[in-house]
A and B are shown apart, each in its own frame.
Chain A
Amino acid sequence: MPSLDDLKKRIKSVKSTQKITKAMKMVAAAKLRKAQESAEKGRPYSKKMQNIILNLTKSISNLENAPKLLVGTGKDEVYLCVIMTADRGLCGGFNSNICKLAKNHLKKLLSERKQIKIITVGSKGLDQIKREYGKYVIKKFSFKEKKQITFKEAEIVGREIIELFNKKEFDKCIIFYNNFKNVITQIPQAQQIIPAEKMDLKDGDKQEEQLSYEFEPDEDEILEDLLPKNISTQVFKAFLENAASEQGSRMTAMDNATRNAGDLVDKLTINYNRSRQASITKELIEIISGAESL
């Protein structure tokens, strides 16, 4: 049985923890609104970009001469995995979910005797991946000091990927990130960006297939210019989705923590009151029995 003093201290400490988690929740909620907004604003760009590429691909006559970024190197040996996580912790399962998904993928690839190379973005993912797959990590990015991620940061990562590709360092590239669905649900995702994954055509799009485009300059040149940009765009999209997911996930985690702390305080307070009463009763009994024996 802990003493009264101990209980008092414990309650105090839980209460101050609760204050911190509450504050973090508020901050996350405020940031979430902003991040969510920019994630939603960023979606049309990457979607339209993909659409254009899709249209371009359809009108390319011979696929053999098509840019390598689009059709791949033709080999299937070396995989580059870009794992995007947050730079900060205390956001529930956010970082672990991405890492778990990535690790499953890596394990599968290794068991198929593929070579893997890893680029990590964000320090938290690196810490988790390092333990098992540290020797595969070839490059790490962290934008901790940046307050807001802009297209520039995405371009840095994108350029690095393209440079590696041009050096024939890998055949396929997959990025891992959390897709922001709503505040409570974020879905970790693996998206292949090189070669561009075949996008599913919906029925409504079929009509558009007949549209023939005028290209200026020709298709190949446009594609060559567009594809590297698309990589950066996809990375940027992942950044935005990740940022929103991180805040959402932190908000829920901190909300839970605040509630748990509240429950704990209640329980401890009951305990505290009981033992206080018990000690008073004990003292009374002692006094009474002392008086009786006289």
Chain B
Amino acid sequence: MSENFFVEIISPDQSILRSEAAEVTIPSYEGQMGILKDHISLITFLRPGLVVIKKENEEKKFFIEDGIVEFKNNNLLILTSTSKSLESLDKNLLDTIIKDSEKKMSDEGISDKEKYLLSHKVDTIREIN
């Protein structure tokens, strides 16, 4: 029996990916989460981070800023408005995102939740860089 399940990434304007995967790691709001086949049905939302899709020897990575995840009947569905595959990200863009985020973080008025999200965003991007 195959150990694979379906994973789908959909953004508002297009369906980004639909394929089989053996393991998917998602940056869930409360921490990294690895999903294997026959996981219990699950709904959760994402913080900025990397979605890693593993299938045999292949590995695909996507940078995601926010989104919602549903796992049901061995179908993993990731709805996100900001998803970019790692190869398409270019360094200048990342630098500007970091700068923007850091500027926002130094702003007094933002809530703890926003700070938490932003710090994760910066960390992830640093990691990519």
Q: A222 an interface residue at 8 Å Cβ cutoff?
A: yes
Majority secondary structure of chain B interface residues (helix, strand, loop or mixed): strand
Contacting A at CB under 8 A, from B14-50, are 14-15, 28-30, 33, 40-45
Q: Is the CB of A44 within 8 A of B10?
A: yes
On chain B, the residues within 8 Å of A214 by CB distance are 40-43
The reply to whether B11 and A229 contact each other, CB–CB distance below 8 Å, is no
Residues of A within 8 A of B28 (CB): 216
Q: Is the CB of A48 within 8 A of B79?
A: yes
CA distance A38 to B33 in the complex (A): 32
Tell me the complex Cα distance, A41–B11, Å: 9
Q: A151-B12, A225-B45, A226-B68 are in contact. Are A217 and B30 (CB under 8 A)?
A: yes
A interface: dominant SS: helix
A222 contacts which of B41, B45, B77 (Cβ < 8 Å)? B45
Query: A216 touches which one: B10, B30, B81 (CB < 8 A)?
Result: B30
Known contacts A214-B41, A215-B43, A216-B28: does B14 contact A41 (CB below 8 Å)?
yes
Report the interface size for chain A: residues with CB under 8 A from the other chain. Answer: 30
Query: How far does the Cβ of B58 sit from chain A's closest Cβ, in whole Å?
Result: 24
Supposing A52-B70, A151-B81, A211-B72 touch, asked if A45 and B10 sit within 8 A by C-beta, the answer is: yes
B46 CB → nearest A CB, Å: 10
A150 and B13 in contact, given A56-B43, A211-B41, A225-B45 (Cβ under 8 angstroms): yes
Within 8 A of B (CB), among A212-235: 212-217, 222, 225-226, 229, 233
A-B contacts, 9 of them at CB < 8 A, read A38-B14, A45-B10, A48-B70, A48-B79, A52-B77, A216-B28, A216-B33, A222-B45, A236-B12
